[in-house]
Chains A and B, each alone.
Chain A
């Protein structure tokens, strides 16, 4: 393995690396044993704490419904956030100042305000204003849309700006209108270039559905951890199981993104080289 940091190891370096490997393995095992013993001392490996996860009822009544609620909030949030992102990115690139300036202000505002603050405002504050209760689902989805949509808007804008000028000039030259240039030339190339950022932002969105727990939206954390632990007194086990579920779902989404990226790179429908974004914005955690 040769990298910017190391040369290909010689015999002495290989010997040293083997020694280090042995020492680090021992150290990690010691830490692992300490954690295991600490769990054991408080009885967190007891069969009674883990038994419920082997029963179909627990999955049917708590975990699966929670996961479904999590995924439906995430799906609604993803669709709306992508739409919000495209609309505000295009508005921010508009030639008309009365469109560009408010769109820019809205994006900057939504990006700087914590998601939880928006969810609290929609869930606790808005009912005073509109004099009707706001369902927890829509409070979560509104927050997710505004926050992640504004982050996506910035990503799209960076992507559109990075498309070589010749592309839009050629499109104008063959008589396309501004909307057509955006729709057929700029947005598709920008979306492809920004795909990694878009997907990592969608993972962020999926994780953020867990904020729904705070306003008692019955998603995975509320149903699969809070309610399960209330029934069985196994909060550590329940949190570990829910964590594993989140990791599986997000890992799946990331794998899907990798596949999608390879696929789009392979398709040879265009002779244009892929757009490179100079300072690509990273997903906002």
Chain B
């Protein structure tokens, strides 16, 4: 393990995973908000919005994330002049990556929220309306509490997938874990397997418990029907 006894290598290893967490956090929050907005569009009574939501989901769910990240850099930034920071190239690339990750993940969040709404039996809302509840009350007191509980498990898998997908942002010069591992492997050809095991092991240590946590939460919060 001589590779990781070098403080410089330890520092890049730590900062690479910190970047993964930051990418996941930033893209996760944006994708959650935007995905819920998209889902609201897809179930709205306005056909134009429904069409927009459907188009977004079909385009982004069927396009490789690598192409989206590639487009964020070479299309949005280099060719269309979308710039987040003029003087800090690292910050600029970070937010370009977040843009791509969020646009992609929002499509999956939208589909999850929509299927969550669909798990609520229509009779629930009919009963609420029969009691004289307004649209807002029906949504707030009857539909959303049941829908949010059923999306906990899928949200967990989306979050985990997002953390793994964040490695793809390395292609546009963000020094996240996959790029750092490649660098360390090239510099230390004699310690290839330990390097891989440390990086892969860190992902396992971060993501497997997250998966179990969401599974446990989902079971605890499940609506008994």
Interface residues of A (CB under 8 A from B): 1-7, 9, 13, 17, 20-21, 24-25, 28, 38-39, 42, 44, 108-109, 112-118, 120-121, 124-126, 128-129, 203, 207-211, 213-214, 221, 225, 229, 235-236, 239, 242-243, 246-247, 250-251, 254, 279, 281-282, 284-285
Contacts and interface: CB of A to CB of B under 8 A. Distances in A.
Contacts of B217: none
Interface string B180-213: 0110011001101101100110011001100100
In this complex, the member of A114, A214, A221 whose beta carbon has the largest number of chain B beta carbons within 10 angstroms is A114
Contacts of A225: 67, 70
Dominant secondary structure of chain B at its interface with chain A: helix
A194 B65 CA distance: 25
12 contacts: A2-B122, A3-B43, A39-B80, A121-B200, A124-B185, A210-B67, A221-B67, A235-B74, A235-B75, A246-B63, A251-B58, A282-B157
B5 interface: no
Contacts, number: 177
A162 to B, nearest CB: 16
A112 B207 contact: yes
Contacts of A203: 62
Given A5-B117, A239-B70, A112 B204 contact: yes
A203 B118 CA distance: 24
A230 B117 CA distance: 46
Interface of B: 43, 45-49, 52, 58-59, 61-67, 70-71, 74-75, 78-81, 105, 108, 112, 117-118, 120-122, 124-125, 129, 135, 138-139, 143, 153-154, 157-158, 160-161, 164-165, 167-168, 170-171, 177-178, 181-182, 185-186, 189-190, 192-193, 195-196, 199-200, 203-204, 207-208, 211, 218
Contact of B79 (A7, A24, A42, A108): A42
5 interchain residue pairs of minimum CB distance = A210-B64, A250-B62, A114-B164, A210-B66, A125-B192
**Quick one: which of A2, A108, A112, A246 has the most chain B CB within 10 A?**
A112
Contacts of A247: 58-59, 62-63
A44 B71 CA distance: 14
B70 A211 contact: no
B117 A4 contact: yes
A279 B158 CA distance: 16
Contacts of B78: 235
Contacts of B62: 203, 207, 246-247, 250-251, 254
A241 B37 CA distance: 28
Contacts of B139: 5
A221 B70 contact: yes
Nearest to A251: B62
A269 B70 CA distance: 48
A20 B63 CA distance: 31
B79 A117 contact: no
A225 B90 CA distance: 24
B204 A113 contact: yes
A126 B118 CA distance: 47
A221 B81 contact: no
A158 to B, nearest CB: 12
A168 B10 CA distance: 53
B200 to A, nearest CB: 4
Nearest to B47: A21
Contacts of A5: 43, 117, 125, 138-139, 143
Given A112-B208, A207-B65, A124 B182 contact: yes
Contact of A24 (B49, B167, B199): B49
B207 A28 contact: no
B67 A243 contact: yes
Given A42-B81, A125-B193, A28 B52 contact: yes
Given A4-B121, A20-B46, A114-B178, 14 more contacts: A4-B122, A28-B48, A39-B80, A113-B203, A114-B203, A116-B170, A117-B178, A118-B200, A203-B62, A210-B65, A221-B66, A239-B70, A282-B112, A285-B161
A21 B118 CA distance: 24
A42 B165 contact: no
A108 B211 CA distance: 10
A239 B71 contact: yes
A204 to B, nearest CB: 9
A207 B64 CA distance: 5
A225 B171 CA distance: 15
